[in-house]
Amino acid sequence: MSDTSQASIWNCTYTLIKHFRSRIKASGLKLQFCTNETQATREKFVEKLQRLGFDIAVNEVTAPAPAVCRILKERNMRPYLLVHDDVIPEFADIDKTSPNCVVVGDAADNFSYKNLNEAFQVLMGLKNPVLISLGKGRYYKETDGLKLDVGVYMKALEYACDIQAEVVGKPAKMFFQSALREMGVEPHQQLLLAKIDSKEAMWYSD
Amino acid sequence: MSDTSQASIWNCTYTLIKHFRSRIKASGLKLQFCTNETQATREKFVEKLQRLGFDIAVNEVTAPAPAVCRILKERNMRPYLLVHDDVIPEFADIDKTSPNCVVVGDAADNFSYKNLNEAFQVLMGLKNPVLISLGKGRYYKETDGLKLDVGVYMKALEYACDIQAEVVGKPAKMFFQSALREMGVEPHQQLLLAKIDSKEAMWYSD
């Protein structure tokens, strides 16, 4: 993708979000942005968006890591983390001793054989192995080419342990429910679920 | 597993193989051993068995790497190798320039994010991506615990590229056919396929 088309997509996304955001705010409806970003804390992610010109605050964003932290607390689960170094601060107040589940995110270079094997050994040591995946994407594009995403390693661990992961990230229902809880909104009060990404800009109702 | 039970299993396997081997040889039938070992050349593997007391020669063993080399030559394929360093000599006379397929073996520590990503990028760059996997095992046991096997990374690449791998290793038919070709035996002339491993000793007909 050339710089020009990348720039025009950014401009288009920026304009769309600004337009819809101001109309939704004016109507008095609540608005929350959902991202599958798991290579940075929510704070760092929002800082990046602000640098790009988006008028957005941390509490307007739902991301997989904070969502999974709520779930871990609700279910008294202590994770083995197979995640990117930059997202580890999101799990600061989570008990990680004697893990009784594995949380896998887009760990990039942390997806070593040693680390994947450790996660696998934790799962195999559990009576009821629980694998929580921060998304199920196959790959994404960076400036130096295509990169394997979290879903690939989720599938690897699913096959190794003959289990099915719980996905917390778009488009999993559990993730959107978490966003609604953050907004203090019941599922039946939800009006619209919108998707805007770099390849498409579309609206759909859940 | 204690040393005692490990030793008794070795003794049992050793006795069984010696018994059947001598009876088959005496009858004039041909015999070939098939292994899924992909962390060593056939020579190194046979040396190890000889050290353990097995009376066995290199040409009596069919292993995935030599089998896949025959297939690569037959199909004019040039592999990107995601394999263990110790098995690379098996591919010495294979053209590996401008890869038009990926061969994945039990690469252990070579299963880094960087290497898996390179294999993925090769596959995504092909019009008809071909992934050949030297087995599809989930895991195996070593003295320091369970280890992820090649099948796990095969599944990862299958999911990433939305393709299905060709498996060359037990129990894939293509692998046994390769062993028969090594013996100069037609499939209809095959008498018996036997399986002896550390957990079970059973006979089955194909």
Same structural domain, B46 and B79: no
Same structural domain, A17 and A38: yes
Q: Do B112 and A113 touch (CB under 8 A)?
A: yes
Q: Is residue B138 part of a domain?
A: yes
pLDDT score of A200? 36
Question: Which has more confidence, A19 or A105?
Answer: A105
Chain B residue numbers with beta carbons less than 8 Å from the beta carbon of A163 are: none
Three-class SS state of A8:
helix
CA B52 to chain CA mean position, Å? 20
Q: Do A145 and B121 touch (CB under 8 A)?
A: yes
Q: What is the mean pLDDT of residues B180-186?
A: 83
CA B95 to chain CA mean position, Å? 20
- Residue A142 touches partner B, C-beta closer than 8 Å: no
**Residues for chain A: how many in total?**
206
Q: Do B138 and A160 touch (CB under 8 A)?
A: yes
pLDDT score of A1? 43
Same structural domain, B193 and B146: no
Q: Is residue B174 part of a domain?
A: no
Q: Tell me what the pLDDT averaged over chain B comes to.
A: 86
Residue B200 predicted with pLDDT over 50: no
Of all residues in chain B, what percent carry a pLDDT higher than 70?
86
> B87-120, pLDDT tens digit by residue?
999 999 999 999 999 999 999 999 999 999 999 9
Q: Do A109 and B114 touch (CB under 8 A)?
A: yes
Q: Is residue B173 part of a domain?
A: no
**Quick check: A185 and A174 in contact, CB under 8 A?**
no
Chain B residue numbers with beta carbons less than 8 Å from the beta carbon of A110 are: 113
Q: Is residue B172 part of a domain?
A: no
Q: Do B109 and A113 touch (CB under 8 A)?
A: yes
pLDDT score of B37? 87
For residue B3, give Cα distances in angstroms to B50, B53, B94, B105, B135.
20, 17, 41, 28, 28
Q: What is the mean pLDDT of residues A26-40?
A: 86
Same structural domain, B72 and B24: no
Three-class SS state of A142:
strand
Same structural domain, B22 and B93: no
Q: Is residue A175 part of a domain?
A: no
Q: Is residue B23 part of a domain?
A: yes
Nearest C-alpha in B relative to A123 = B146
Chain A residue numbers with beta carbons less than 8 Å from the beta carbon of B120 are: 139, 146, 148, 152
Question: Which has more confidence, B42 or A7?
Answer: B42
- Residue B137 touches partner A, C-beta closer than 8 Å: no
**Quick check: B50 and B56 in contact, CB under 8 A?**
yes
- Residue B147 touches partner A, C-beta closer than 8 Å: yes
Residue A187 predicted with pLDDT over 70: yes
Quickly tell me which residue has 């008095």 as its tokens.
Answer: A28
Q: Is residue B139 part of a domain?
A: yes
Alpha carbon distance A135, A153 (integer Å):
11
pLDDT score of A196? 54
DSSP string, B36-90: ---SS-HHHHHHHHHHTT----GGGEE-HHHHHHHHHHHTT--EEEES-GGGGGG
Residue A58 predicted with pLDDT over 60: yes
pTM: 0.84
Same structural domain, A144 and A89: yes
Question: Which has more confidence, B23 or A88?
Answer: A88
**Domain enclosing residue B72, as ranges:** 64-167
Same structural domain, A192 and A117: no
Q: What is the mean pLDDT of residues B14-19?
A: 76
pLDDT bucket at A202, cuts 50 / 70 / 90: very low
Of all residues in chain A, what percent carry a pLDDT higher than 90?
52
Q: Tell me what the pLDDT averaged over chain A comes to.
A: 86
pLDDT score of A96? 97
CATH number at residue B92: 3.40.50.1000
- Residue B148 touches partner A, C-beta closer than 8 Å: yes
Measured between CB atoms, which of A108, A124, A146 is closest to B113?
A108
Same structural domain, A163 and A69: yes
Interface test with A, best of B117, B150, B157 (most A CBs within 10 A): B117
Residue B201 predicted with pLDDT over 70: no
Residue B131 predicted with pLDDT over 70: yes
Residue type, A16: L
Which phi and psi angles does B145 have, rounded to 5°?
A: 120, -175
Same structural domain, B68 and B39: no
Residue B198 predicted with pLDDT over 80: no
Please name the helix (run of DSSP H) or strand (run of DSSP E) that holds residue A202, with its range, or none: strand A201-204
pLDDT score of A108? 95
Low-confidence winner among A9-18, A39-48, B194-203 (lowest mean pLDDT): B194-203
pLDDT score of B191? 65
pLDDT score of A179? 84
Positive/negative CA dihedral, A109, B117, A169, A172: negative
Of all residues in chain B, what percent carry a pLDDT higher than 90?
52
Same structural domain, A58 and A73: no
Low-confidence winner among A114-128, A133-147, B6-20 (lowest mean pLDDT): B6-20
Residue type, B79: P
Quickly tell me which residue has 């040591």 as its tokens.
Answer: A125
Q: Which two tokens stand for residue A118?
A: 């450790």
With a CB cutoff of 8 Å and minimum separation 6, the contacts of B11 are: none
Report CA Rg, chain A.
18
With a CB cutoff of 8 Å and minimum separation 6, the contacts of B175 are: B34, B62, B64, B67, B167, B168, B169
**Quick check: A25 and A31 in contact, CB under 8 A?**
yes
Please give the tally of structural domains in chain A: 2
Residue type, A188: H
Residue A124 predicted with pLDDT over 70: yes
Same structural domain, A143 and A153: yes
Q: Which of A79-83, A143-147, B24-28, B171-175 has the highest mean pLDDT?
A: A79-83
Same structural domain, A90 and A184: no
Q: Which two tokens stand for residue B102?
A: 């990926």
> B163-182, pLDDT tens digit by residue?
999 999 888 888 888 888 88
**Quick check: A45 and A66 in contact, CB under 8 A?**
no
Q: Is residue A123 part of a domain?
A: yes
